[in-house]
Structure 1
Amino acid sequence: MRKHLNGRIVALGLSALRIWLGVQWLQAGYSKLGSEFDASGFLHGAIASASGENPRVQGWYASFLEGVALPNIELFNILVPWGELLVGLGLISGLATVPALIAGAFMNANFIMAGVGFSSLDGQLFVIAMILLLIGKSRYYYGLDRFVIPYFKKHFLSKRGMLEIKGKDTGTGSLS
């Protein structure tokens, strides 16, 4: 009984941390959606930070920003705020928690590599996301994944681990 109670307390703490992280992402995305967000200034600054005596940005990453991100800035201006908003909603609700944590950690890693540094808020958010990713099921015990994942496994995953709709033929039989 005591072990189960301690597990729920830990899960509650991890859920609170997950929700706090989600609020950070939600606020960042919402503020960008409500304004004329343009990442080109940030990208130009990151590219400029790749030169000089003590570059903050690696040359290969600056080349990626210059060759891929800047030519597609309109796409990035959509992906960044919507990505932040969706990560926030996923973490707050506890729905698609693992994909939201991975997406958030990926965005944080890119912001860090673009020169904001690991000691920034992005570095802290990255560490928290990694801890939550590695911790196990407790991260979503108090969230929608607690109900959605078992439902999905029951109705869509067979005993062999292959994806098929329960009760439907997979089409692997003969044509008779």
Structure 2
Amino acid sequence: MLNDFFRTSRTAAVVLAVIRVYLGVTWLNAGIGKLTGGFEVQGFLQGSISKAEGAHPAVQGWWAGFLESFALPNHELFAQLVMWGEILAGIALILGLFTTAAAFGGILMNFAFLFSGTVNTNPQMVILTVFILAAGINAGRYGLDHWIVPLIQKRRPHLRKSQLALT
């Protein structure tokens, strides 16, 4: 019942649009701050790896291992992925363009930051993003998805209407 409300209600779509734009502005500001502020991820990664030690580690060993063996050697790539991921997720959420995909990308970044021992606004953003993901396409009803989804439906008739429909 609640799921139907999130997926079909115009009232829910309005509330979700506000949440979506808030999250988009948050991501966009974070990404632009990194773009203009000379973002360097190497120190952050080393700090996260060091949080995996001690009596009460803030970072789990498996994640620290990933950071140490893969992310740290490729820190320049990760800096670009984080910065542009935040900018693109922000723009897409603000515009309501590919809303579900943008929200999914955003929540993946939130979890990566949480796994790395950074709390900040990430838990709040995760909770809000869950509502957008639960709503599916209705979260983009008052955005560009309103026009893009029908075009996709025309070009991909094999997709069930229930997968993309705005009712």
The TM-score normalised by the length of structure 1 is 0.83
Measure the CA separation in 1 of the matches of 2:159 and 2:54. Answer: 56
Question: Unpaired runs of 5+ in structure 2?
Answer: 161-167
Shift of 1:126: 1.1
Measure the CA separation in 1 of the matches of 2:82 and 2:152. Answer: 29
Measure the CA separation in 1 of the matches of 2:158 and 2:123. Answer: 40
Which of 85, 91, 98 is the equivalent residue of 1:83? Answer: 85
Check the 8 A contact 2:39/2:79 in 1, yes or no. yes
Which structure's CA Rg is the greater one? 1
Measure the CA separation in 2 of the matches of 1:97 and 1:68. Answer: 29
Shift of 1:160: 7.2
Give identity over the alignment, percent.
Answer: 42
| Partner of residue 138, structure 2 | 138
**Superposition pairs for residues 119-134 of structure 1, below 5 Å?**
120-134=120-134
Task: Note the aligned Cα RMSD (angstroms).
Answer: 1.7
| Partner of residue 63, structure 2 | 61
Deviation beyond 4 Å, 4+ runs, structure 1: none
Measure the CA separation in 2 of the matches of 1:19 and 1:60. Answer: 34
Shift of 1:12: 1.1
| Partner of residue 33, structure 1 | 35
Which of 21, 45, 48 is the equivalent residue of 2:47? Answer: 45
| Partner of residue 167, structure 1 | none
Which of 1, 4, 12 is the equivalent residue of 2:14? Answer: 12
SS of match in other structure, 1:53: coil
| Partner of residue 151, structure 2 | 151
| Partner of residue 165, structure 1 | none
Measure the CA separation in 2 of the matches of 1:49 and 1:74. Answer: 21
Shift of 1:136: 3.2
The TM-score normalised by the length of structure 2 is 0.87
